[in-house]
Amino acid sequence: MIVRVFAPFRDAESAASDVEAWGADAALGVLEATDLKLFLQKLTRPLPLANSALGGEAPGVVTVVGDFPAFARTAIDHLRQMGLRTIGLLLLDEGPQHSEKLIKPFLDLLRAADPVTSALIYGADRRLLWEPEASVLPVPAKISDWLTALRKPAGVICPQQGGGGYLIRCCRALGLRVPEDIAIVGADETDLSLACNPALTSVVLSMETVGAESMRVICDMIDGLPQPESMVRVQTMHLTVRESTAAIRPEICDISGALEWIRTNATSGLSVAQLMRQTQRVSRVTFHKRFLEAVGKTPAEAIRDRKLEEARRLLASTELPIEMVCDLCGFSSARVMARVFRSVERSTPRDYRRQHQSGSRRKTPRK
């Protein structure tokens, strides 16, 4: 399979012309409602499309996006720890699916009865979202009135890429303090989150998973398999707490965030200190106590066990050298891995591999 990337994105009509000129069999896109409509109108022949934005439903289009209820639940749980009076949702794109796909799940999770005060839809210029230093003046009256009316302190969730930074700039222009008046949770990757002032707390979707799912969908459609459901929802995401919410309550003990961070980062040599910097706003003693109460082991033991889990898998299923297994699992040296293995498994890594691989071979029937 040959993959071609068209960048930078000029406009939807030009993108459609480029795709057709190349003779593509399918396309991957991040097209919101207006762009998706223009892209499909410009095509002269049907083309399977996996789209990772809420652009709407159309024949031959499968939307691969993060599961919004999972995103909203993570953000709401975090903001509820802050003791806020109000939690709202700001959508900065006027897509046709927002009321049913986003606002209704948000209100259900929040148990809010009034969508007018709890959620706002406003079609913002995307250039203002993607440029961290872009001026937001004059702040749109619709946004200004809504933010001003929220009972303070309030929390606002903004799931559009770049939307969190745009909202921070709007608050500052209106004289609203972040996070003292408005605590903000966005959905931006690290670079864009850190470009905000204050830095943006984000619930981040695993784009690797989105990409893999999109490619799977496209390959199946090219191979003539039946089109899956019109929407594929990816639930892999994690919360990173930064200054746009952290100052509301200094003590934030996020056990679920710590466990997710351990799951995804332990094999990269994660330390307890790094884990706390990324996920916690409590003292080391408080974090250890609450983690032990919730999980039944210390953070260091949880990190160790995740490393061991990956080491067992690699030792039993691959022929990789022990030193490489050590590196891939985040141990500082093969000697350290061997010591940990002996204390938990009562065997060396080599003995563990010999036992489990020979066991697998014995179970394999001869042809």
Does the residue 354 lie in any domain?
A: yes
pLDDT at 343 over 60: yes
Query: How far from 12 is each of 37, 38, 58, 248, CA to CA, in Å?
Result: 8, 6, 16, 42
Least confident segment among 15-24, 191-200, 268-277: 15-24
Distance CA 357, CA 360 (A): 5
Q: Count how many Cα atoms sit within 13 Å of the Cα of residue 353 in the half-sphere of its side chain.
A: 15
The mean pLDDT value of the chain amounts to: 84
Does the residue 170 lie in any domain?
A: yes
Tell whether 199 and 262 lie within a shared domain: no
3-class DSSP state of 89: strand
- CATH number of the domain at 319, please: 1.10.10.60
Q: How confident is the model at residue 136 (pLDDT cuts 50, 70, 90)?
A: very high
| C-beta of residue 185 within 8 angstroms of C-beta of residue 157 | yes
- CATH number of the domain at 103, please: 3.40.50.2300
- Domain region containing 103: 68-206+237-246
Q: How confident is the model at residue 250 (pLDDT cuts 50, 70, 90)?
A: very low
Does the residue 98 lie in any domain?
A: yes
Residue whose token pair is 């490489």: 324
pLDDT at 249 over 80: no
Read off the pLDDT of residues 272-298 as tens digits, 9 standing for 90 and up: 999 988 888 778 888 999 899 989 999
| C-beta of residue 152 within 8 angstroms of C-beta of residue 85 | yes
Instruction: Average the pLDDT over 256-283 and give the result.
Output: 88
pLDDT of residue 252: 65
Instruction: Average the pLDDT over 99-103 and give the result.
Output: 73
Tell whether 45 and 58 lie within a shared domain: yes
Does the residue 311 lie in any domain?
A: yes
Least confident segment among 2-16, 32-46, 67-81, 310-324: 2-16
Tell whether 175 and 73 lie within a shared domain: yes
Tell whether 132 and 51 lie within a shared domain: no
pLDDT of residue 316: 93
Tell whether 198 and 212 lie within a shared domain: no
pLDDT at 135 over 60: yes
Q: Which tokens hold the place of 122? A: 């406003």
Q: Which residues contact 59 (CB under 8 A, 6 or more apart)?
A: 46
Tell whether 98 and 202 lie within a shared domain: yes
Distance CA 149, CA 171 (A): 13
**How many CB atoms sit inside 10 A of residue 47's CB?**
18
Least confident segment among 101-110, 226-235, 283-292, 322-331: 226-235
pLDDT of residue 299: 95
Does the residue 5 lie in any domain?
A: no
Read off the pLDDT of residues 307-329 as tens digits, 9 standing for 90 and up: 999 999 999 999 999 999 999 99
Tell whether 35 and 128 lie within a shared domain: no
| C-beta of residue 198 within 8 angstroms of C-beta of residue 165 | no
Amino acid in position 238:
H
Does the residue 18 lie in any domain?
A: yes
pLDDT of residue 73: 87
Tell whether 85 and 194 lie within a shared domain: yes
Does the residue 330 lie in any domain?
A: yes
Tell whether 142 and 221 lie within a shared domain: no
Tell whether 220 and 241 lie within a shared domain: no
Helices (H) and strands (E) in the chain, counts: 19, 10
Q: Which tokens hold the place of 224? A: 């003539």
Read off the pLDDT of residues 158-199 as tens digits, 9 standing for 90 and up: 998 899 999 999 999 999 999 999 999 999 888 889 899 999
Strands 231-234, 182-186: pairing kind: unpaired
pLDDT of residue 143: 96
As for how many domains the chain has, the answer is 3
Q: How confident is the model at residue 113 (pLDDT cuts 50, 70, 90)?
A: very low
Let me know the angle formed at the C-alpha of 358 by 353 and 360, rounded to the nearest 5 degrees: 100
Does the residue 1 lie in any domain?
A: no
Between 310 and 52, where is the model more confident?
310
Tell whether 115 and 190 lie within a shared domain: yes
| C-beta of residue 280 within 8 angstroms of C-beta of residue 254 | yes
Tell whether 214 and 261 lie within a shared domain: no
